[in-house]
Chain A
Amino acid sequence: MALTLEQIRADVADVLGEDPADIPDDENLVDYGLDSVRIMTLVERWRRDHGTEVTFVDLAEKPAIEQWAPLLGART
């Protein structure tokens, strides 16, 4: 099942322990507590559940939801 922007935001909020409504699409997620372990968790989860092939570096290089959406093939 392909990822949606909402699902990305929900998963990011989940690993950060935050409310999805508090995660903007265009902000640097590092400022919200995103770290390498959490990125790895997301990479794994999305590979398992959605068959994506993004790497750690792909996500770490531009840590913002709107930057990730095209890499993850998400429908916006």
Chain B
Amino acid sequence: MTVSVLGRPVGGTTPTRSPGPRGLPLTGAQSGMWYVQSLDPGSPALNTAEYLDIHGDVDPVRFAEALHRTVGEADALRVRLVDTPDGPRQLPVPVEAPGHGFPLHTADLRDQGDAEAAVAAALAWMRADLAVPFDLASGPLFAHALLRVGDRRWLWYHRVHHAVLDGYGYALVARRVADVYTALAAGDDVGPSPFGRLAALVEEDAAYRDSATYERDRDHWRRHMADRPAVPTLSGRAALPSRTTVRHTAHLGPEAAARLRELAASVRATWPDVLFAAQALYLSRATGRQDVVLGLPMMGRMGSVALRVPGMVMNVLPLRLTVTPDATFAELTRQADLGIRTARRHQRYRYADLRRDLGLLGEGTALVGPLVNVMPFDYGLTFAGAPCEAHNLSGGPVDDLTVGIYDRADGSGLRIDYDANPASYEDGEVAAHQRRFLDLLTRIAGSDPHRPLSELGLATAEERERELTEFNDTAAALPPTTLIGPVEARAARTPHATALVADGRSWTYAELNTRANRLARHLIVLGVRPGVLAAVALPRSADLVVALLAVLKAGGAYVPLDVEHPPARLALVLEDTAPACVVTDTATRAATLPDTGVPAVLLDDPALAAELDRHLPTDPGRALTPHHPAYVIHTSGSTGRPKGVVVPHSAIDNRLRWMQGEYGLTAGDRVLHKTPTGFDVSVWELFWPLREGATLVLAGPGEHRDPAALARTIREHDVTTAHFVPSALAPFLDEADGGPLPLRRVFASGETLPRALADRFHATLPGTVLHNLYGPTEAAVDVSHHRCEPGESGPVPIGRPVWNTRLYVLDAALQPCPPGVTGELYIAGAQLATGYLGRPDLTAARFVSDPFGAPGARMYRTGDLARRREDGALDHAGRADRQIKLRGQRVEPGEIEAALTRDARVAAACVTVREDRPGDRRLVAHVTPASADAAAEAGPLDPRALRAALASRLPEAMVPSAVVVLDAFPLGPNGKLDRAALPAPAPVLGDRRPGDAREEALAGLFADVLGLERPPGVDDGFFDLGGDSLLAARLVARVRAALGADLDLGTLFRAPTPAALAARIADGPADDALGPLLPLRRTGSRTPLFVLPPAVGLGWCYAGLAARLGADQPVYALQARGLADGTPPAGGLEEMAADCLARIREVHPHGPYRLLGWSFGGNLAHAVAVLLRAAGEKVELLALLDSYPGDALRGGPVPAEADAFADLLRMAGEEPAGAAPVTRRQVVEALREESGMPAAVLREETVAAMARIAVHHAGLTRRHRPGVFDGDVLFFTAAAPGGADRPSRHTWRPYVGGDVINRDLDCPHAAMTRPGPVDAIAETLARYLGERC
């Protein structure tokens, strides 16, 4: 459209005056820009600029005159803005004549080469000038340049601060300059000024603010935006304004532009309406939001004096649009038209005022998404006959994205600029969005506007092809087999290979297969066959593996029942699945299984054993096909019931065949099974190794929560392959620091794998490969995979699809999303589950028709959000619904809410996951009480009781760590529940104060770990205060470190309050640490070393030695009986040695034996060795650490306690000083040293008991007549100076048949087990054993 904007000058429209010396206040529009500039005074972002490309002869002097005259007429331009006590004001600035200070730069750039080079040089100059900020207070706030780029081509450049001129104003100025120039060239009268005055603008603005219209407009916008949606942006990021803008310019061809105009006319709209509708469609699809808010720039001059004032008037207003896939483009255009019309009626209300009204103060609180700035006019000017075209260079600051659309006068279509805030967008992102938007416009132009929007996608044809075909090229021809078939084939091929290591022993493939076959045949008798379900409720054990195999062998599908789930939950699952039987054992049935009438197969029932023996041990026959179900696993259901996912053999078989193809398990591999069978990760853990001839290693029951135990099991059994949920991987890596692990590969899945964790993994386990897997239970465990490489950055992708699997990222209309655009992830292909058991409605909702597959193909709607990378890998991007992933477990808040509202006293419930402290994600429930009547009837609402009720019905992972009772839920502006405004739970702390130091320490640790402001009362439960299993592990570690207590997680669960835990810790050492046999290391392939205690009777002093002997050397410490109460057993040293021997034989029934003893322990070790030899056993090591036979010690009677104390001190390596009697305190200190026990655990009573025991042992030594050991003795002498009067090793001569091989250590007796000496001892032992054994 080329039309004159400004017509004949109209004189005397409004009585006006120029800004006087005191100046004028700013208009609302100016204030907005002034404020933005004042936030960053040095920023050039408020510069606006354009240039006119003039083709023809231009007289630069005449041009300067025209320009000077025009500027002189435009008083709105000739101001500076100063801050005064009354607010900012605008004051006039003088304008000098051209050549005398008038801001007009001229240059002849023809020497740059051809026209193209000259234009490039000119543009470079303009960009440099555009980067120069104006000084608002000094002015002038405009600058010009006339650059000659050809003999008959000139560029007029024009830069103005946005506080004094807007886009329409540019047009007024340009037209007047052209008119004056043309008149001057023709010698005509230039006529009076066409411009209105700045004062008129200010007056009109002030009048508006005092008017009823202003009130009406304000009310309109407040109402209109009260329930505004969150502001979606294409980048998904909010950023502060930048000083620069990234601009990408593109053109829509004339044909497409013309068709868009026709389309607009056909639906009685304007073409800008069509562009708004198209951008809303794009934004909606790209952000996955149905409701979008575009920024609508408004000229703001209709019916106003501003039509003739070259000043700053324009405004931006929100345009809310709702984009649904079923609507047509015509309807969306109509919606845009009506929305813009409505906005126009209230267009003078300022954006800044609206933001203030809505409480959106400060930065980063956007009200609108991208601005769509349609400029429907070209200037169509001529300079004395020379035509020109205008080019916008900068439209001012860009908060996020501005799409500038210019109608081009020459009929060449539309110019479409994407101006982006570089803090929010990568350069490539802007270009990609722009390219796709133009592609979308082209397709809209070519399509019927009355077709549903769902037919229009964002992806270009090429992007669509890559998404659907190239990235999903996963076809692999596989034989039709089942989950169990390959296990049986493997058992037939390698019957003698080790199939399973569990419960402290191992089974060959043949043994395992035989056991499973017999049980399978029994299950067949009970009715288990293809298509029939059989439940399995067993703790992790060999029996569990046998039971699962048996169900599959019978042809049935197994239903795992998690024995840690509450009976009420298991009852729901049993009711849901109606299994033919439940395979379990007596204890599990009694502890967890509800009484449902389902026949139980009790594996520990002797009668069953007899019956199984009668069954054939061979593989049973069954009419099993790949389409039959293999297992049914229950996941959280949003409507309050868990839902059973039915997975067919074909699906899981595909998954396991892919896994073998990708990772190639070999017979030498050992795979750890630790995931409870209620989670489908357990399926590959269990069956992958058994299909491939590898060995399956079972973690102990409950061990999956104990990273230290897992590390031990992995080391002990050479596990090469293991799985971790990322939140469990972190604590495991803490344990992995303790030495190398045999792991070759670790799989992570179940929740987002943080990059920092992957980095830590690579640093900790450099030789182990980390694989990130993704998939829902509904698609047979995993559907995508990514191998993590050290040095990668950014989010860890979930990767690419597995075999015979297609992954689609789709928008709300099920159209493929282009790379970088977040959509919902859909899965199609071989691994889809059959559906939800007995829930056709739910199945139909989630397993939908695959529009890209063969007829009848289905795809699963995951509810996960994902983004495609350019290389085809996928990034996970959260959830489309409220489902929560917590420590790898799927949690539907709806299920917990349903459980809460079953309580008559609860009116409504809302369950969210909160991260009130970084890294500490917790489930929290907020509830509102039902009516007073209900409360009167059922009693007041007690959060603890509610929590307890949930714990009886839901798995632990689904029990909120806190329940918060609110009078009412906080509501957002739209009247809906505002989840973000829910308060953090404040734990109600009890007030019973600690009774002793241990309780006090524990209460403090509780507070630290839970992030409490003060320590809890000693009767407050850890889990009631918000603790969960992860925090529990943290607490246990802290207690171990701080109190030196040998505490395990189970103890914390049983004793969850500071008081109860303190009592347990006090008792604990009596049970364990003070027990008669203390395993310092259970694992290792070498002959175990038994270490005998020094006089105090404790074996802890040998911990350092055990650590130095290496991971392959088991070490067991014997400890004295009677430490708990200080009453030693009757009998002499020989009886004591016999007692020790009995305990040694329990661990290691037959020789060879290795013995070591320090001090009194040496005497005991010698006695044990003599007994062993008498029994005909081989003793390959007897090591004595500065230990001497009783007759070498002082003679005389058994000492009194005081003497005993002195004796004890000597045994502890200290000489009693002077004649003063030795005090108990001295002994206590010395004994603490010797005991090796952490001080905090050593209670006064224990010390007293140790003293009595030690006295007793001293007496035993004196009375003992050693026998003769007929082998060699390895002796260590504490040879530090000062020990000269101590006996020598030669005192052993009468009692040793072989050699006494000595090594002197430069340390006192008491220090022999300390670092330094103990290093030498360990080294000597290793060499000695290496040479001899």
Q: In the complex, A31 Cα to B344 Cα: how many Å? A: 7
Closest chain B CB from A31 CB (angstroms):
5
4 closest Cβ pairs, A-B complex:
A55-B7, A33-B341, A17-B268, A37-B270
Is A61 within 8 A of B307, CB to CB?
yes
**CB of A66 within 8 A of chain B?**
no
**CB of A44 within 8 A of chain B?**
yes
Give the residues from 570 to 585 in chain B that come closer than 8 angstroms, CB to CB, to chain A: none
Q: In the complex, A30 Cα to B345 Cα: how many Å? A: 6
Is A40 within 8 A of B1, CB to CB?
yes
Q: In the complex, A18 Cα to B870 Cα: how many Å? A: 48
**Per a CB cutoff under 8 Å, which of A32, A37, A38, A56 touches B4?**
A56
Is A31 within 8 A of B3, CB to CB?
no
Instruction: From known contacts A40-B3, A58-B7, infer whether A35 and B270 are also in contact, taking CB-CB under 8 Å.
Output: yes
Residue of B nearest to A43 (CB): B3
Is B270 within 8 A of A30, CB to CB?
no
Which one of B7, B272, B304, B377 has the greatest number of beta carbons of chain A within 10 Å?
B7
**Per a CB cutoff under 8 Å, which of A30, A53, A54 touches B302?**
A30
Instruction: From known contacts A30-B344, A31-B345, A57-B307, infer whether A36 and B302 are also in contact, taking CB-CB under 8 Å.
Output: yes
Instruction: From known contacts A33-B344, A63-B302, infer whether A44 and B376 are also in contact, taking CB-CB under 8 Å.
Output: no
The interface of chain A, by Cβ under 8 A from chain B, is 17, 28, 30-38, 40-41, 43-44, 53-58, 60-63
**CB of B5 within 8 A of chain A?**
yes
Q: In the complex, A47 Cα to B1 Cα: how many Å? A: 13
Is A60 within 8 A of B301, CB to CB?
yes
B residues less than 8 Å from A28 (CB atoms) = 303
Q: In the complex, A58 Cα to B5 Cα: how many Å? A: 9
Q: In the complex, A31 Cα to B337 Cα: how many Å? A: 13
Q: In the complex, A30 Cα to B302 Cα: how many Å? A: 7
Interface of A is mostly: helix
A residues less than 8 Å from B304 (CB atoms) = 61
**CB of B100 within 8 A of chain A?**
no
A residues less than 8 Å from B268 (CB atoms) = 17
Which one of A30, A35, A43, A44 has the greatest number of beta carbons of chain B within 10 Å?
A35
**Per a CB cutoff under 8 Å, which of B4, B8, B271, B376 touches A36?**
B376
B residues less than 8 Å from A30 (CB atoms) = 302-303, 344-345
Ordered by A's residue number, 14 sampled pairs between the chains whose C-beta atoms are within 8 Å are A17-B337, A31-B345, A33-B337, A35-B344, A37-B270, A40-B3, A44-B1, A44-B3, A53-B7, A55-B8, A57-B5, A57-B7, A60-B307, A61-B308
**CB of B340 within 8 A of chain A?**
yes
Q: In the complex, A28 Cα to B163 Cα: how many Å? A: 29
A residues less than 8 Å from B341 (CB atoms) = 32-33, 35
Q: In the complex, A60 Cα to B302 Cα: how many Å? A: 5
B residues less than 8 Å from A41 (CB atoms) = 270
Is B303 within 8 A of A57, CB to CB?
no
A residues less than 8 Å from B271 (CB atoms) = 37
Classify chain B: how many residues form its interface, as a range.
Answer: 20 to 34
**Per a CB cutoff under 8 Å, which of B5, B270, B340, B345 touches A56?**
B5
Is B272 within 8 A of A60, CB to CB?
no
Instruction: From known contacts A17-B269, A30-B345, A37-B376, infer whether A56 and B3 are also in contact, taking CB-CB under 8 Å.
Output: yes
Q: In the complex, A37 Cα to B271 Cα: how many Å? A: 9
Q: In the complex, A36 Cα to B273 Cα: how many Å? A: 12
**Per a CB cutoff under 8 Å, which of A33, A37, A44, A63 touches B303?**
A63
Residue of A nearest to B341 (CB): A33
Q: In the complex, A53 Cα to B7 Cα: how many Å? A: 9
A residues less than 8 Å from B6 (CB atoms) = 55-57
**Per a CB cutoff under 8 Å, which of B5, B302, B344, B345 touches A55?**
B5
Residue of B nearest to A62 (CB): B303
Instruction: From known contacts A30-B303, A60-B307, A62-B303, infer whether A37 and B272 are also in contact, taking CB-CB under 8 Å.
Output: yes
**CB of B299 within 8 A of chain A?**
yes
Q: In the complex, A43 Cα to B301 Cα: how many Å? A: 17
Given contacts A17-B268, A57-B7, 7 further A-B contacts (CB under 8 A): A31-B345, A33-B341, A36-B302, A36-B377, A37-B270, A40-B376, A61-B308
Closest chain A CB from B380 CB (angstroms):
12
Q: In the complex, A48 Cα to B1283 Cα: how many Å? A: 123
Digit string of B644-663 for contact with A (CB within 8 Å is 1, else 0)? Answer: 00000000000000000000
Is B340 within 8 A of A55, CB to CB?
no
Residue of B nearest to A35 (CB): B344
Is A34 within 8 A of B3, CB to CB?
no
B residues less than 8 Å from A43 (CB atoms) = 3
Give the residues from 237 to 292 in chain B that come closer than 8 angstroms, CB to CB, to chain A: 268-272
Residue of B nearest to A34 (CB): B302
Q: In the complex, A32 Cα to B344 Cα: how many Å? A: 9
Instruction: From known contacts A30-B345, A44-B3, infer whether A57 and B302 are also in contact, taking CB-CB under 8 Å.
Output: no
Which one of B1, B271, B308, B341 has the greatest number of beta carbons of chain A within 10 Å?
B341
Closest chain B CB from A62 CB (angstroms):
7
Closest chain A CB from B275 CB (angstroms):
11
Is B270 within 8 A of A55, CB to CB?
no
Give the residues from 1 to 19 in chain B that come closer than 8 angstroms, CB to CB, to chain A: 1, 3-8
Closest chain A CB from B385 CB (angstroms):
21
Instruction: From known contacts A35-B270, A57-B307, infer whether A40 and B302 are also in contact, taking CB-CB under 8 Å.
Output: no
Q: In the complex, A32 Cα to B3 Cα: how many Å? A: 23
Residue of A nearest to B375 (CB): A36
Q: In the complex, A58 Cα to B194 Cα: how many Å? A: 12
Residue of B nearest to A41 (CB): B270
Digit string of B301-341 for contact with A (CB within 8 Å is 1, else 0)? Answer: 11110011000000000000000000000000000010011
Is B308 within 8 A of A57, CB to CB?
yes
A residues less than 8 Å from B377 (CB atoms) = 36, 40
B residues less than 8 Å from A53 (CB atoms) = 7
A residues less than 8 Å from B376 (CB atoms) = 36-37, 40
Residue of B nearest to A14 (CB): B268
Closest chain A CB from B347 CB (angstroms):
8
Q: In the complex, A43 Cα to B380 Cα: how many Å? A: 15
Give the residues from 831 to 868 in chain B that come closer than 8 angstroms, CB to CB, to chain A: none
B residues less than 8 Å from A37 (CB atoms) = 270-272, 376
Is A60 within 8 A of B303, CB to CB?
yes
Is A36 within 8 A of B299, CB to CB?
yes
Q: In the complex, A55 Cα to B316 Cα: how many Å? A: 25
Closest chain A CB from B334 CB (angstroms):
9
A residues less than 8 Å from B301 (CB atoms) = 60
Q: In the complex, A33 Cα to B1 Cα: how many Å? A: 20
Digit string of B365-378 for contact with A (CB within 8 Å is 1, else 0)? Answer: 00000000000110
Residue of B nearest to A54 (CB): B7
Is B345 within 8 A of A38, CB to CB?
no
Residue of B nearest to A18 (CB): B268
Closest chain B CB from A59 CB (angstroms):
10
Q: In the complex, A63 Cα to B347 Cα: how many Å? A: 15
Closest chain B CB from A50 CB (angstroms):
15
B residues less than 8 Å from A62 (CB atoms) = 303
Give the residues from 335 to 364 in chain B that come closer than 8 angstroms, CB to CB, to chain A: 337, 340-341, 344-345
Closest chain B CB from A29 CB (angstroms):
9
B residues less than 8 Å from A61 (CB atoms) = 303-304, 307-308
Residue of B nearest to A56 (CB): B5
Closest chain B CB from A63 CB (angstroms):
5
Digit string of B928-946 for contact with A (CB within 8 Å is 1, else 0)? Answer: 0000000000000000000
Is B307 within 8 A of A38, CB to CB?
no
Instruction: From known contacts A55-B6, A57-B6, A58-B7, infer whether A38 and B270 are also in contact, taking CB-CB under 8 Å.
Output: yes
Q: In the complex, A60 Cα to B306 Cα: how many Å? A: 10
B residues less than 8 Å from A56 (CB atoms) = 3-7
Q: In the complex, A40 Cα to B341 Cα: how many Å? A: 16
Closest chain A CB from B346 CB (angstroms):
10
Closest chain B CB from A11 CB (angstroms):
14
Residue of B nearest to A53 (CB): B7
Closest chain B CB from A44 CB (angstroms):
6
Which one of B269, B303, B337, B376 has the greatest number of beta carbons of chain A within 10 Å?
B303
Q: In the complex, A17 Cα to B7 Cα: how many Å? A: 27
Q: In the complex, A41 Cα to B299 Cα: how many Å? A: 17
Q: In the complex, A31 Cα to B303 Cα: how many Å? A: 11
Q: In the complex, A26 Cα to B337 Cα: how many Å? A: 23
Q: In the complex, A61 Cα to B270 Cα: how many Å? A: 21
